[in-house]
Amino acid sequence: MIRSVVRGFGAALPKRVMTNKEIESRVDTSDEWIVQRTGIRQRYIAGEGETSASLGEAAARAALERAGLTPDDVDLIIVATSTPDNTFPATAVNIQNRLGMRHGAAFDMQAVCSGFVYAVATADAYIRGGLSKRALVIGAETFSRLLDWTDRTTCVLFGDGAGAIVLEAQEAAGTKADRGVLTAQLRSDGAHRDKLYVDGGPSTTGTVGHLRMEGREVFKHAVGMITDVIEAAFEATGTTADDIDWLVPHQANRRIIDGSAKKLGIPLEKVVVTVDLHGNTSAASIPLALDAAASDGRIKKGDLVMLEAMGGGFTWGSVLLRW
């Protein structure tokens, strides 16, 4: 059977770092409050000329270089983003053009913070279905441009950045020892759509709008939804928490990450955390965390890695893969 195997990874962050201290001068908050409630110490903020497409392009180039590939070798680009450069065309097409690619297919995936998990699941389905041989899966966001910088309940939480992986079709035995994506579990429930949303859009206000969130409501649902899809991935593959080498969660909030790991019985030493450095970069957070942990040698070839995310919609999902 065919599996989608990670062949390369890369990431890109804006040049500018914004610390909690700097946010103190904008809204009534404190470094202590932000660290205690979220674990966030700093985030990166896109400057002039830096966009979701430019950051996504840089991450894609890094992933291709690490894989020893060129854009000619890829036939699919999926970009998970809620902050596209334009309403249309897709940021994926923008990145395709920046890479000098004139072949294959490119489209965006919009599942907010769960976007990367949805995009990996989609690329995996394309690859296993024979529609693609090699896919660039990118999470690229500039949430700083959606924030209401006078709203202390949201503006302290988010940051900008991009990460990418190259998934490649490889023959496999069809067991849980295979490298590649072993299962993806996706969920959504639109009844929660107004708990985390943007109050504008092309078909309603004709404006871009600002992010709005009922933080406590999101928090209340997060751990249960995350553990539900991780347990579904265990069940689908005949694995358990003990088999996991690395949990790479969406990086929204340290308390959600720790709470989920504890509930699942995954020790914190096996959890990759970057929320302190990046803040919540939505669909970019998982590939940024993968890049950090694979670059410094924590995640190694053959490791069993669980990705999970939950976000606006609500959407949530997990991907279990062997690196």
156 binds ligand ACO (CB under 6 A): yes
107 binds ligand ACO (CB under 6 A): no
Q: Is 103 in the active site?
A: no
252 binds ligand ACO (CB under 6 A): yes
- According to DSSP, the residues that pair with 171 across neighbouring strands are 2
As a whole number of angstroms, the distance between CA 122 and CA 103 comes to: 19
H or E stretch including 168?
strand 160-171
**Encoded tokens for 235:** 């069940």
4 binds ligand ACO (CB under 6 A): no
Q: Is 155 in the active site?
A: no
Quote the least distance from Cβ 308 to ligand ACO, whole Å: 10
- Radius of gyration in angstroms for the set of CA atoms belonging to the chain, rounded to a whole number: 18
152 binds ligand ACO (CB under 6 A): yes
CB of 103 within 8 A of CB of 49? no
CB of 95 within 8 A of CB of 138? yes
Q: Which lies closer to ligand ACO via its Cβ, residue 194 or residue 243?
A: 194
Quote the least distance from Cβ 44 to ligand ACO, whole Å: 17
Quote the least distance from Cβ 33 to ligand ACO, whole Å: 4
113 binds ligand ACO (CB under 6 A): yes
User: What are the φ and ψ backbone dihedral angles of 171, each rounded to 5 degrees?
Assistant: -65, 140
- Of 94, 113, 155, 210, the catalytic one is 113
Which of residues 100, 102, 173, 216 is near ligand ACO by CB under 6 A?
Answer: 216
Q: Is 250 in the active site?
A: yes
CB of 20 within 8 A of CB of 107? no
Q: Which stretch binds ligand ACO (CB under 6 A): 149-157, 179-187, 229-237, 241-249?
A: 149-157
**Closest residue to ligand ACO, based on beta-carbon distance:** 215
Q: Which lies closer to ligand ACO via its Cβ, residue 29 or residue 97?
A: 29
As a whole number of angstroms, the distance between CA 113 and CA 198 comes to: 13
3-state helix, strand, coil in the chain (%, to 5): 40, 25, 35
| Segment 269 to 308, residues that bind ligand ACO, using CB under 6 A | 280
Q: Which lies closer to ligand ACO via its Cβ, residue 62 or residue 289?
A: 289
Residue 131, C-beta contacts closer than 8 angstroms, at least 6 positions apart:
76
As a whole number of angstroms, the distance between CA 165 and CA 139 comes to: 9
- According to DSSP, the residues that pair with 322 across neighbouring strands are 180, 304
Q: Which lies closer to ligand ACO via its Cβ, residue 133 or residue 212?
A: 212
CB of 91 within 8 A of CB of 84? yes
Q: Which lies closer to ligand ACO via its Cβ, residue 53 or residue 113?
A: 113
Which residues have a catalytic role annotated? 113, 250, 280
- Contact residues for ligand ACO, defined by CB under 6 A: 29, 33, 37-38, 113, 152-153, 156-157, 196, 213, 215-216, 218-219, 222, 250, 252-253, 280, 310-311
